[in-house]
């Protein structure tokens, strides 16, 4: 692989969970047990549940994603803020409550965390907030659909997602289907380089573009197995770089929406958003909703499939990482 590395496995301990209790962060019993015993844990965001699709489709999809994580040897930890309490891991009832509340739940990035907690509100965590809480718990692998990035015309609007700066300062590996194709992918990759983020494409030389496997942008690094991904995560942790890792997993070809149709829908949705004065964190949900409408549901179907595929790969990476560390501990 490009940027090929080989590292010697060593024990990488998670922080004691008592400090989270002191901070008022609730860790679900299943997640707490997994972290304490060295079982792989995969963090999952909650914005995709509340803002990504309607109920009950969002609830069923969330259940399926958690099931895929478990089936591949890891424990899912969906992260959200409920009644002002940050939760790392949700019960089935809590997951359904979040799904039913939908867009009534505050979309919560890192900057919004204090406000939501102080008001004892409900917050669905975005990539940046999910990474923050995952890192606090020592969770090293996080699965999502796609990350935010530099918006088109970002050189004029300065609209850059906090996902990118979070990746620059939080040591969590984000497994996703690349950067959402509604964004400026080349500028996003440049920004990630500036932030010192290791960007890896899984089993391909090209960085994926969310709905489609191809973006036209060559990835800085390539990994061809979950073991190689685990090596990269371990090396990052061992050296204490303090930055995140972005692992782009292309959506399976059989589920990819036709790139030409998606791009046409994106352009129409962008013009509509501009004409209606939609800005800030309302832009991405609006664009995704309109693109789904304009593609006759193809983009939402692709979205669901790519999240499931990411969960499969992410769980295997988390398991590979813990298996490697367990073998080393036994031989030490």
Of residues 180, 228, 234, 316, which has the active-site annotation?
180
pLDDT of residue 156: 75
pLDDT of res. 13? 53
pLDDT of residue 153: 75
Residue 8, pLDDT score: 40
pLDDT at position 259: 61
Q: Which sequence spans correspond to the domains of the chain?
A: 16-139, 144-332
Q: How does DSSP assign 165-198, residue by residue?
A: HHHHH---EEEESBB-TTB-HHHHHHHHHHTT-E
Tell me which DSSP letter residue 150 carries: B
Neighbours of 208 (CB within 10 A): 27
For the question of whether the overall pTM of this predicted structure is more than 0.75, the answer is yes
Q: In this predicted structure, what is the pLDDT of residue 327?
A: 56
Q: Is the four-CA dihedral 225, 245, 240, 191 of positive or negative sign?
A: positive
Q: What is the DSSP letter of 93?
A: H
Backbone angles phi, psi at 209, to 5 degrees: -120, 50
Phi, psi of 85 (to 5 degrees): -110, 120
| CB-side neighbour CA atoms (13 Å) of 296 | 3
Question: What CATH number has the domain spanning 144-332?
Answer: 3.40.1790.10
Question: Which pLDDT does position 301 carry in this prediction?
Answer: 85
Grouping H, G, I as helix, E, B as strand and the rest as coil, residue 275 is: helix
Task: Give yes or no: 180 in active site.
Answer: yes
pLDDT for the residue 14:
57
**Does the fold of domain 144-332 match that of domain 16-139?**
yes
What is the full per-residue pLDDT of the chain (332 aa) written as tens digits?
A: 545 444 443 345 556 688 899 899 999 999 999 999 999 999 999 999 999 888 999 999 999 999 999 999 999 999 999 999 999 999 999 999 999 999 999 999 999 999 999 999 999 999 999 999 999 999 999 999 999 999 877 777 788 999 999 999 999 999 999 997 778 999 999 999 999 999 999 999 999 998 888 899 999 999 999 999 999 999 999 899 999 999 999 999 888 877 667 778 888 998 999 899 987 778 878 887 898 899 888 888 888 999 999 999 999 999 999 976 565 445 54
CATH of region 16-139: 3.40.1790.10
Q: Which of 45, 166, 228, 234 is catalytic?
A: 45
């Amino acid at each position: 692989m490009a940027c090929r590395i080989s590292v010697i496995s060593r024990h990488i301990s998670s922080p004691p969970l008592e400090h989270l209790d002191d901070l008022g962060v609730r860790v679900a019993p299943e997640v707490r047990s997994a972290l304490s015993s060295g079982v792989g844990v995969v963090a999952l965001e909650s914005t995709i549940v509340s803002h990504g699709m309607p109920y009950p489709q969002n609830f069923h999809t969330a259940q399926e994603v958690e099931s895929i994580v478990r089936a591949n040897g890891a424990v899912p930890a969906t992260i959200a803020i409920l009644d002002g309490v940050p939760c790392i891991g949700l019960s089935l009832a809590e997951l359904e409550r979040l799904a039913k509340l939908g867009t009534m739940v505050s979309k919560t990035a890192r900057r919004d965390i204090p406000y939501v907690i102080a008001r004892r509100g409900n917050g669905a965590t975005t990539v940046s907030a999910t990474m923050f809480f995952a890192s606090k718990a020592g969770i090293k692998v996080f699965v999502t659909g796609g990350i935010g990035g530099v918006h088109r015309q970002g050189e004029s609007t300065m609209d850059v997602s906090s996902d990118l700066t979070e990746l620059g300062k939080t040591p969590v590996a984000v497994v996703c289907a690349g950067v959402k194709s509604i964004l400026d992918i080349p500028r996003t990759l440049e920004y990630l380089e500036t932030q010192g983020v290791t960007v890896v494409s899984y089993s391909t030389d090209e960085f994926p573009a969310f709905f489609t496997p191809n973006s036209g942008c060559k990835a800085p690094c390539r990994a061809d197995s979950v073991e190689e991904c685990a090596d990269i995560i371990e090396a990052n942790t061992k050296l204490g770089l303090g930055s995140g890792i972005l692992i782009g997993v292309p959506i399976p070809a059989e589920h990819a929406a036709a790139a030409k149709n998606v791009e046409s829908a994106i352009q129409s949705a962008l013009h509509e958003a501009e004409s209606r004065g939609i800005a800030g964190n309302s832009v991405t949900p609006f664009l995704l909703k309109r693109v789904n409408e304009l593609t006759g549901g193809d983009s939402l179907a692709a979205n669901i499939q790519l999240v499931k595929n990411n969960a499969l790969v992410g769980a295997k990476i988390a398991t590979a990482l813990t298996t490697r560390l367990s073998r080393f501990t036994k031989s030490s």
